[in-house]
Amino acid sequence: MFTLLASFALAMSDVKITVDHNAGYTETKEFKFKNVPSPVKNDAAAKAKLVLVDGQLDGNSADISALTDGYLPMAEDEPHANVFFDEATTGGRFMLDLNAAIDIAQVNTYSWHPNTRGAQVYKLYASDGTDPKFNSAPKLKTDPVTCGWKLIASVDTRAKSGDDGGQYGVSITDSSGSLGKYRYLLFDCSATETSDDYGNTFYSEIDVVAKK
């Protein structure tokens, strides 16, 4: 197991990206990590509306609703328990509508695969939807920042060397205790590699934790 802690200043905030990686005997169906909390069923995303904004899900992928249903894969290679984009593509975008703007403390993402589809590479954008230019479904060729979105974090859990397979947990937080008050979250996902047709991450779950 290894843990990577990364902090950076972004748009006058102090966002921290915490990445945990389980490999071998530490990979379990409970998704237990050293520093990233395990997934929960009753988080703020549990009743969110999910929209596939751009890209095509693989024919073996679970429905996009699996990202927030609270159910986790039981083993390292369960396509129907994970959400992933089609083979020979370089990712896509999906959006969570939380139904109302809430004060967000954490956004946590989880993935599991024995090969390069385990790692996570994505940008997280957020919006309260009040900008007159707001577009809730910007396509891949559109920079979300130009249509009412704010870039919150850029995540890349790929190892500098060695195998990217295993179980990953990512937690995005802010030193203030709040990432901001937002209704919409946009995930701009990229493939982990393009040396073959199978580089799109197996996303197992996404949790949104409201600030208490």
29-68 pLDDT, tens digit each = 999 999 999 999 999 999 999 999 999 999 999 999 999 9
Contact in structure between 7 and 14 (CB atoms under 8 Å): yes
Residue with tokens 């891949």: 140
pLDDT above 70: percentage of residues in the chain: 94
**In angstroms, rounded to a whole number, what is the distance separating the alpha carbons of residues 45 and 75?**
23
User: What class, spelled out in words, does domain 2-210 have in CATH?
Assistant: mainly beta
What's the pLDDT band for 9 if we cut at 50, 70, 90?
very low
The closest of 205, 154, 148 to 182, measured between CA atoms, is 148
Mean pLDDT of the chain: 94
Residue 161 pLDDT: 79
R_g (Cα) of the chain, nearest Å: 16
The closest of 210, 207, 170, 172 to 45, measured between CA atoms, is 207
Dihedral sign computed on CA atoms, order 77, 79, 83, 84: positive
Give the type of residue at 158: R
What's the pLDDT band for 13 if we cut at 50, 70, 90?
low
pTM of the model: 0.93
